[in-house]
Structure 1
Amino acid sequence: MNSLLNSERPPVFCPGCSHDRVTQALDQALQSMNLSGNRVAIVSDIGCSGLFDTFFNTHALHGLHGRALTYATGLKMARPELHVIVTMGDGGLGIGGAHLLAACRRNLDLTLLVLNNFNYGMTGGQCSATTPPEAQVSSGFLNRLENPIDVCRIAGPAGAGYVTRVSTYQKDLPARLEKAMAFDGFSLVDIWGMCPGRYTRRNKLTPGAIEDALGALPPADGPADAGAGKEYGRHYREIAAGMKPVPPPAKIEAQFTPPRTERQEIVILGRAGQRIITAGELLGLAGITAGLRATQKNDYPVTVLRGHSVSELVLSGQPIGYTGIGQPDVIIALADEGVARRKKMLEGLTGNPLIIRASGVELPPCDAQITEADFRARKIRSSDWALAALALLAGHGRIITTEMLKAALGIRFKTAVRDTALELVDRVQAG
């Protein structure tokens, strides 16, 4: 098998950098496994380890700092036949610690190579999650405040199937990498090395010192004692195979003629509990039944059960390139909370748009055609005001028709809920 190293982008590291040795060892391991470039994907992190994806003629993905395992997970789930290798430094290890734990728990068939040189080498030699407390680094005394992470002692109990520590300078490094990559499940290789550009300028570190330090740690060489579960990808596919397939999205046929085909902007202003978002969805569905395109944007606080609720709709017979609301054609104002949320929009109205306002809701001075609806006097519950307002809007024949609204109710709801909603529409329009 030929080398997979990229001759047009040969590895370039600082003189004496251990990453160069890992690059060569990884290439030897891939050759020994007889893997061609189209069968391998290298997912890299940020930092010096993040250069690996450019050095190999394989599939590659270069992501954000600490997030490489998340990309690799999606890649492996989508393409289980690929050998997915993640290269990450000790910086990415610390930043992406939660992602590491998730990868261990899942036991997905990935191989993580942690290129551990005890500092953030690319950004100036600051302390990382693995920096010894006695080391001298550019970030001052911060590394003296906490113990360094032993990733192997974390990964095994967290569920990783295969965990091992190695020195960059071991002669059998290619074989050790091959064993990890051949493991059926999540494998982690903690590779200790030197950063001559930053770390070893202030700290005495040699291959022998690395070997002694590794020998003083609890053994970590191969399948973890914790007993990992089934390989995640295979287990996922086993369960998914026994489930009913997801039906295709429902297709809504255009069956009505809309009152207008030009772009129409509608804003529904209310509060939590008034089913504002559902009303917006119904309005969009109603437009689609007449062949219109529809977009919906919603605004509500994280509390959900209290506060404002706003839904913004655009309906148009032409493609909608911009979903923002400039000067709405129709505003439905059902609660003071929603009105307060869009006060500036209301104050800046032009063109005399239609406002359907629930009695008791205060509006700022604005240029608009206001229609008042006393839903309380008609004994309509607050949770039904939004649907009642849509019934009034349909009666105007300005955005949607009654037939379009009723068709939307038939799409959105079933049986009893649909029938109750249709009765409400008829009652509101009957006056």
Structure 2
Amino acid sequence: MDSLLNASRPAVFCPGCAHDQVLRALDKTLISMGYGGEDVAIVTDIGCSGLFDTFFNTHAFHGLHGRALTYATGIKMARPDVKVIVTMGDGGLGIGGAHVLSTCRRNVDLTLLVLNNFNYGMTGGQCSSTTPQDAVVGSGFLNKLEKPVDICQVAGAAGAPWVKRASTYQQDLGEILKAAIEFDGFSLIDIWGICPGRYTRRNKLTFKLVGEKLDQMPSLADYEAINARMEYGKAYRKEAATLGTPKDPVRIPATCAAPAAGRQEVVLLGSAGQRIITAGELLCLAGASAGCHATQKNDYPITVMRGHSVSEVILADTPIDYTGIEDPSVVIALAPEGVNRRRKMFTALSPQALVIKASGVDLPACRAQVVDIDFKARKIKSQDWALAALAVLAQRGNALNREMLTAALELRFNRTVLEMASAVIEKVAA
């Protein structure tokens, strides 16, 4: 094989575009290294550099602007045998800067070619993160206010062990590409070139000037020595091997019988600190102990110690495809925060629905059967109201029974907590 280029999709760039020369230099380098199409993955994002994956007969992935390194990381971790090469323009570099930093820190065995032509060539010649401050571009004066990024210095500071600047037009570009691809870890080449379609229409930039400007850049530290460490994928697999084989998921045998067949939808409404989520989990475990399928969806604000707490649970004797609850069979209302969060739900409750509410909690008008429980009079603390409400349900045989609730408590809690929970159940039973 003398080329990996796609004969059915010939490369088409603007006449004189630097990308075309990088494309052909990369092709020659891969062939000289003995790689076939099955050995290489080209990963790209948006922009003129994003055309590379279509021009090669290799594995390919094309994604969102600036995100190419995230896809490439996944590919490399899943297929360490594949040589993964990422092409990214200076546009994608700026947009995906955080992803670049993360990849530098990890030292994943990827090669990033930054095809740097100092502007967004595909979308109108606007300034990018590398545009010189004295350049004339299609986005006005913004570049005059911003210092251009030296991605090699940034990458080295972020932990990249192999970084180099290069000109598209230097004779040894192929050798530099080869060294980067051979490196066992993250390698980055900032490849400077000309964009004749946009940039050089307003700015004087020749092959010679590219080389002169590169020579004026500050020298790079010996990042290969400074940032030397094991390649991320190898280090990951080494550490993972010490963890042993994970245990199989716990199987919950069906030791009880559910009080009713069909689908039961239960919504628990409370506030932070009332252990609403734990009660929802207990309800799921109770259902599983009766051989039911179970789902749980929770809703609470980022301020986890304040505000509403809602748990939606479905128990069914058939697989649950849709986890939305539109007509709950049971609602447990323990605090105004939760009730207000699902206020519209009450108006749609059917007469067959059951609402168990804590005394003092006001409800919107509804057609459901409402049972008022004075938990305070029974000397049950607020954090135990949700568990106590499950005990009320178990007594009535709605959604679960006492045997199912006991099985759930034994599955969920250790001995000390189990004794405390059982004491709450007994207060309700009394």
In structure 1, how many angstroms separate the alpha carbons of the residues matched to 2:135 and 2:225? 32
**Mapped contact 2:378–2:427 kept (Cα < 8 A):** no
CA 1:51/1:426 → structure 2, altered by over 3 Å: closer, same or farther?
Answer: farther
Gaps of 5+ in 1: none
Cα distance in 1, alignment partners of residues 317 and 3 from structure 2: 57
Which AA in structure 2 matches 1:293?
H
**2:29 aligned with 1:29:** yes
User: Contact 2:269 / 2:338 at 8 angstroms: preserved in 1?
Assistant: yes
Identify the residue that residue 301 of structure 1 maps to in structure 2. Answer: 301
Quote how far apart the aligned CAs of 1:222 are: 7.7
Structure 2 residue identity aligned to 1:129? S
1:291 Cα deviation from its structure 2 partner? 2.3
- What amino acid maps onto 2:255 in structure 1? Q
46-55 vs 141-150, which moves further: 46-55
Task: Indicate the residue corresponding to 1:240 in structure 2.
Answer: 240
Contact 1:293 1:319 (8 Å CA) reproduced? yes
AA in 2 matched with 1:350: S
Secondary structure, aligned partner of 1:46: coil
The runs of at least 4 aligned residues of structure 1 exceeding 6 Å deviation read none
String of CA shifts for 1:254-293, please: whole Å, max 9, x gaps: 3333223322211100001111111111112222222222
Checking the alignment, whether the CA contact within 8 Å between 1:159 and 1:229 is kept in structure 2 is no
Question: Quick check: 2:335–2:361 contact (8 Å CA) kept in 1?
Answer: yes
Distance 1:262 1:108, change over 3 A: same
1:145-164, aligned counterparts within 5 Å? 145-164=145-164
Residue 30 of structure 1, CA deviation: 1.1
Quote the residue 2:13 is aligned against. Answer: 13
Within-5 A mapping of 1:373-388: 373-388=373-388
Work out whether residues 166 and 173 of structure 1, in 8 Å CA contact, stay in contact via their aligned partners in 2: yes
SS of equivalent to 1:84: strand
- Structure 1 residue 245 displacement after superposition: 2.5
Mean alpha-carbon deviation: is it higher for 316-325 or for 354-363? 316-325
**Within-5 A mapping of 1:85-104:** 85-104=85-104
Change (3 A) 1:191 1:376: same
What's the CA shift for 1:131?
0.6
Question: Residue 8 and residue 413 in structure 1: after superposition, are their counterparts in 2 closer, same or farther (change >3 A)?
Answer: farther
Amino acid aligned to 2:335: A
From the superposition, tell whether residues 65 and 130 of structure 1 become closer, same or farther in structure 2 (CA, over 3 Å).
same
Q: Residue 153 of structure 1: CA displacement?
A: 1.1
Report the CA distance shift for 1:220/1:35 in structure 2 as closer, same or farther (over 3 A): farther
Secondary structure (helix, strand or coil) at the match of 1:380 reads coil
What CA deviation, in whole Å up to 9, does each residue of 1:119-154 have, x standing for no partner?
112222111100111111111111111100000111
Moved more, 343-352 or 199-208: 343-352
Please give the secondary structure, in 1, of the residue aligned with 2:226: coil
| Counterpart residue number, 2:120 | 120
Q: 5+ residue gaps in structure 2?
A: none
Sequence identity percentage: 63
Counterparts of 1:159-178 in structure 2, within 5 Å, are 159-178=159-178
Normalization by structure 2: what TM-score? 0.95
Give the partner amino acid of 1:334.
Answer: L
Alpha-carbon offset, residue 320 of structure 1: 2.2
The aligned residue for residue 131 of structure 1 is 131
Q: Which amino acid aligns with 1:302?
A: I
Q: What is the match of residue 207 of structure 1?
A: 207
- Contact kept, 8 Å, 1:255 with 1:289, in 2: the verdict is yes
